[in-house]
Structure 1
Amino acid sequence: MALRKLSCCWALLLILGCHQVAPIAGSSVVVGDHNIDQILESNELVLLNFYTEWCPFSIRLAPIFEEAARQVYATFPEAGRVTVGRVNCDTEKNVANKFDIIKYPTLRVVRHGQMGRSEYRGQRSVQAFYQFVEQELADPVREFLTLEELHYIKDDTGVIVGYFMDKNNADYENLRKVASISKRECRFYAGFGQVSEGLHPAGENTLIFRADATKSSHREYYSEYTGSISNFDELLTWTDEKCIQLVREITFDNAEEIAEEGLPFVMLFYNKNNLQPVMEFKTVVETKLSHTSMVNYLTADGELFTHPLHHLGKTMADLPVIAIDSFRHMYLFPRYEDIHKPGVLQEFVNDLFTGKLHHYFHYGGELPTTMWENDTTQDEILAAVVPESQFKQLLPSPHRYTLINQTKDEL
């Protein structure tokens, strides 16, 4: 009898212990092969938690994520607005592979069926999750009531302006869909009725793209969309072409996401009080360098990233500075002014992949003399390649994720 009571106590303890980490019933949706396509196609926003039952970070997140889902559904109960779901990667390997999951938990965001590689990387709290969903569901297009407002739009990113006959039409709803996907790359504005009168052909709506202030001068600064605004795929393609730039700005907010792409950084450190080098760097990248998916071209505010500058032996007074971070070592481009010499920056990038920069770091020897001025000494070149990578510290942390594959070669 005593043994039976003891067994009952152990069973009760096990039930209570499991209850602490088990999902809260009736909150997030179980997602798998059987319903993934339907969920992605029928929702404005989908937030997915890719987890395993053995991952300690997944276990800690489970009750927080489930409570957040409960609050989201209480505020946004409409069908097709938002789905908060969970994917067990041990039992749903096809879905996990479809999203290229390499760490647990991964929180993926899908907007209007467009998967991309977007993730939620913010704070893991009920309030943070709820606020994220709330912000994502907010209208991504800002209405302007006077043309004067357009003169005061910040020009540090691309801008798409729509001139519509009225607000209740399919063209505008399609723009809102595209804007919700592309709002991190561009700002979206729209005017309706009388405020837009005379700015679009009679009986037609019009979209205009305006480039950011540091856009290189060889590309169109203003351009008009000539396709069908009601064609979602066509409009999204045009928006991507205009808004997604070859050179991105790295910040502490997006550094982990960019670093996880696993591509070496070719980056310009600049002084925010002088944006001329930013324009010059963008122009060289867009017109003089081969467009490759093997590197990330970035600009970085030197005031924010003083730590890697220090390891390069540089200060704010030395800006602008160009360097490559391979996630093992940092290689300094000896003279910023040489970007204007044909082929010099391209050769510096090429030498990362041929192994010349890496070989010199480990074994010494001569680097191509065509890259450097005659008065550049070997000691200066050695100092340029000594520092270890500083941006690898911004990769996803093992203190936050269970990483599946952490090992990558330099090249």
Structure 2
Amino acid sequence: MFIINYPKKWFFLIFSIFHVCYNPTDSGAVQLTSDNIDMTLASNDLVLINFYAEWCRFSNLLQPIFDEAADKVKEAFPEAGSVVMGKVDCDQQTSVASRFHITKYPTLKVIRNGQPTKREYRGQRSTEAFLDFVKKQLEDPIKEFKSLKDLESLDAKKRCIVGYFDRIDQEEYKNFRKVAINLKEDCQFHVGFGDVVAAMHPPGTPIIVFRPDVALSHENDETFNGNIKSYDELNVWVQEKCVPLVREITFENAEELTEEGLPFLILFYNPNDAESIKDYKAIIEAELLSEKQNVNFLTADGKRFAHPLHHLGKSEEDLPIIAIDSFRHMYLFPKFKEMYEPGRLKKFLEDLYSGKLHREFHYGPDPDSEEHVPSNDIQTQPPKSTFKKLAPSKNRYTLLKDEL
């Protein structure tokens, strides 16, 4: 009887050793499930998650690269609680995929302090790029100034949050730091301590101030009047200040913006013309705030985005120009100076919603329209959307059916 059982035991032991040696559990990205994801997110400063499907070709192409990058990240940041690269099999973990609103494979989500950031990872998909991204994410998001004079040299084209604290161990500073980690891609964060900033705030009462991008907007400094000890309250306020109503579109963030699915109202500007940007932002804030759920208000460097201008029959010499990209067609705002007429930009949007812009491009002005007949240099057929081409690529993602 014992002779019969021994081979089975030896076989099980040998198989177990073989399995551990050739399938190490600590290599590659961590497999996340509904059982361990919450603990993983709560116990690490940064978690980068690859949401994939086994049947997806693009997921399979990414998997070995992502696993190799995970090993490199572990080597670079071995301390517990710092960073984890994880992966979720969305077919097996449908509740997790649903929780993170996955609409394409593979999707790479960035989690900071247990909360998903606004932006997915959309950079290059290589081991080196993933490692560089993690290193950048873990960099200190706050710059300490040693003199109030240092604040005079802040970049006037960047939005800044400045904190004045007694000590680095204050509870309020810990919240300030957590907010800075979450929003460092949207704002620059600066801080001063002790005697350096004693003249800027009462003893024991830290102060946090928003400094706008004064070179590109008409906004003014604003002090946070809420409870700095409340992370949620401070985070909401900083996000409102750092993520403006009118955003700049670049080739780096275009995919993210197009995926939001809202039409673009874009000011194409000359890089040397800051005043047009300021006025455009001010008019959007004053007249079109109620439309922020329906439209993405954007500015675009007319030199970098010369291709859309060409489709509109315009060039750099015609800047500044305002246009709508509906993701089907592009429509040109008649004259930039008409932007200053109260309600004129709002009417332009209403004409998009009603179909009037499309109709008039095909058939000319409506019979009851008071608009002037378009000049000969305006095309009678609306040019096709050019920004749609910057949406998530069919050569990079498998789009789910409910997104099509």
C-alpha spacing 1:363/1:27, structure 2 compared with 1 (3 Å): same
Aligned to 1:66: 67
Determine the structure 1 residue equivalent to 2:45.
44
Residues 302 and 309 in structure 1, CA contact (< 8 A), matched pair in contact too? yes
Change (3 A) 1:98 1:68: same
Give deviations 1:278-326, integer Å, cap 9, x for gaps. 0111011000123331110000000100000011011111010000001
CA contact (8 A) 1:24 1:63 kept: no
Deviations 1:100-157 (A, max 9, x none): 2111111011111222442001111111101101110111001111222211111212
Q: Which residue is equivalent to 1:243?
A: 242
Question: CA–CA distance in 1 between the matches of 2:398 and 2:123?
Answer: 17
Note if contact 2:217-2:277 (Cα within 8 Å) is conserved in structure 1: no
What is the TM-score when the length of structure 1 is the normalising length?
A: 0.87
| 1:129-168 map, 5 Å | 129-168=130-169
Q: Distance in 2 between matches of 1:367 and 1:171?
A: 63
TM-score (normalised: structure 2): 0.89
Q: 1:406 to 1:279 in 2, by over 3 A?
A: farther
Contact preservation (8 Å) 2:52, 2:107: yes
Q: Distance in 2 between matches of 1:23 and 1:59?
A: 20
Q: Alignment partner for residue 394 of structure 1, among 376, 382, 390? A: 390
Instruction: Tell me, in whole angstroms, the C-alpha distance in 1 between the residues paired with 2:249 and 2:237.
Output: 24
- CA separation in 2, counterparts of 1:79 and 1:142? 25
Secondary structure of the corresponding residue to residue 61 of structure 1: helix
> Residues 62 and 23 (structure 1 numbering): CA distance in 2 closer, same or farther, change over 3 Å?
farther
Q: 1:368 to 1:297 in 2, by over 3 A?
A: farther
Total equivalences in the alignment: 381
| Aligned residues of 1:306 and 1:315 also touching (Cα < 8 A) | yes
Preserved contact between residue 23 and residue 62 of structure 1 (Cα < 8 Å): no
Distance in 2 between residues matched to 1:54 and 1:254, nearest whole Å:
28
Letter paired with 2:369: T
Structure 1: which 4+ aligned runs deviate by more than 6 Å?
A: none
Q: Which amino acid aligns with 1:386?
A: P
For residues 142 and 125 of structure 2, the distance between their equivalents in structure 1, rounded to whole angstroms, comes to 28
Give CA deviations for 1:50-101 in whole Å, capped at 9, x if unaligned. Answer: 1111111111111111111112122223332222110111111121122221
CA distance 1:311–1:212, change in 2 (3 Å): same
Q: How does 1:90-239 map to 2 (within 5 A)?
A: 90-214=91-215, 216-217=217-218, 219=219, 221-239=220-238
70-79 or 137-146, larger mean C-alpha shift:
70-79
Distance 1:407 1:65, change over 3 A: closer
- Cα deviation, residue 215, structure 1: 5.5
Residues 1:301 and 2:301 aligned together? yes
Gaps of 5+ in 1: 1-21
Secondary structure (helix, strand or coil) at the match of 1:389 reads coil
CA contact (8 A) 1:270 1:300 kept: yes
> In structure 1, what residue type is equivalent to 2:226?
G
Partner residue, 2:348: 348
For residues 265-344 of structure 1, what are the structure 2 equivalents within 5 Å?
265-289=264-288, 290-344=290-344
1:241 and 1:139 mapped to 2: Cα distance?
Answer: 22
Give the counterpart letter for 2:391 in structure 1.
L
